[in-house]
């Protein structure tokens, strides 16, 4: 399926967007904006192609079902601008989403967006939804973290906090990408997918910003659940070392919109679209994004 590249600006910063549209004409089910995490750009995450792995691209899967699918590279990642001497933290990423969403709404003609974010991308998406609820129809937060309580991954990462605080970028390599799949529960992803994911990530970046790591290790909570007014889905992989279940449940309880769901995904660790059980994630997202509006709210 053919994709198209798009560009917008945030101040003087150029931001790259990638789009896949439904092949068949007719009514569209919605416009999705996918938001990537701390250590990889958007296309490797959401438009990954792996031989022998059907529907490996979540963007193509949703486009084939009538959705207008978009992703964007945050500043400092992939094809977006990397020139400013900053660490590209969560707040800066939410600024990117403000600029990117304005472009997507204009280009697609949509009234509001279906927004999915994973890991630090979920934090960016949540901050964006706090700031711009009028642009968000439904919000899905995968591998999300609120206060960081009960997170073994963040506990380990904090040991290197001074190093992350000392520079704006950190190096990444194939060993690092493999570690994403080994740290929580080895075996949740197949080797061919891990290697294809690493190939795609490293073709675009050999280093990534430190800002999201610094924020997640030292500045949580960054989101106030009481201020997220839109319908929200919380997705949590069974083995995910970032997202503590009790932490997420407490966040979930405080979401004011009664249109909310919490789903634990069996056999999944952190990078859910690259797991063996990736079709579970697609199913849950599709159900949430196509859920009819309630007739009665009381």
Q: Cα separation of 193 and 201, whole Å?
A: 12
pLDDT in the model for residue 298 = 87
CA 22 and chain centroid, separation: 21
- 110-159 pLDDT tens trace: 999 999 999 999 999 999 999 999 999 999 999 999 999 999 999 999 99
Cα dist from 169 to 77, 87, 125, 214, whole Å: 10, 7, 22, 11
Three-point CA angle 274, 97, 287, nearest 5°: 50
Whole-model pTM: value is: 0.98
Per-residue pLDDT for 26 more than 90? no
CATH of 4-289, one of 3.40.50.1820, 1.10.150.310, 3.40.190.10, 1.10.1040.10: 3.40.50.1820
Please give the pLDDT value at position 27: 63
- Are the C-beta atoms of 246 and 150 separated by less than 8 Å? yes
Percent of the chain with pLDDT over 90: 95
């Amino acid at each position: 399926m053919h994709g198209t590249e798009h560009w917008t600006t945030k101040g003087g910063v150029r931001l790259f967007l990638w789009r896949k549209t439904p092949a068949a004409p007719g009514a569209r089910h919605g416009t999705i904006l996918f938001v990537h995490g701390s250590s990889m750009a958007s296309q490797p995450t959401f438009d990954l192609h792996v031989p022998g792995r059907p529907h490996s691209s979540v963007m193509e899967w949703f486009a084939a079902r009538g959705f207008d699918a978009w992703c964007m590279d945050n500043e400092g990642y992939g094809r977006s601008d990397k020139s400013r001497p900053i660490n590209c933290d969560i707040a800066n990423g939410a600024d990117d989403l403000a600029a990117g969403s304005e472009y997507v709404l204009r280009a697609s003609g949509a009234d509001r967006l279906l927004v999915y974010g994973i890991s630090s991308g979920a934090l960016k998406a949540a901050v964006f939804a706090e700031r711009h609820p009028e642009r968000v129809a439904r919000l899905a937060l995968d591998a999300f973290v609120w206060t960081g309580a009960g997170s073994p991954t963040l506990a380990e990462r904090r040991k290197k906090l001074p190093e992350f605080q000392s520079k704006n970028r950190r190096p990444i390599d194939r060993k690092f990408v493999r570690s994403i799949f080994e740290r929580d529960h080895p075996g949740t992803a197949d080797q061919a997918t891990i290697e294809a994911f690493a190939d795609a990530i490293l073709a675009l970046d050999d280093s990534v910003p430190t800002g999201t790591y610094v924020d997640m290790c030292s500045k949580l909570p960054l989101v106030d659940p009481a201020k997220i007014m839109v319908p929200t889905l919380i997705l949590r992989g069974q083995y995910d070392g970032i997202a503590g279940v009790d932490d997420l449940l407490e966040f979930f309880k405080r979401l004011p919109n009664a249109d909310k769901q919490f789903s634990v995904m069996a056999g999944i660790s952190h990078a859910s679209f690259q797991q063996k059980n990736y079709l579970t994630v697609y199913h849950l997202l599709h159900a949430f994004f196509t859920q009819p509006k309630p007739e009665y709210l009381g």
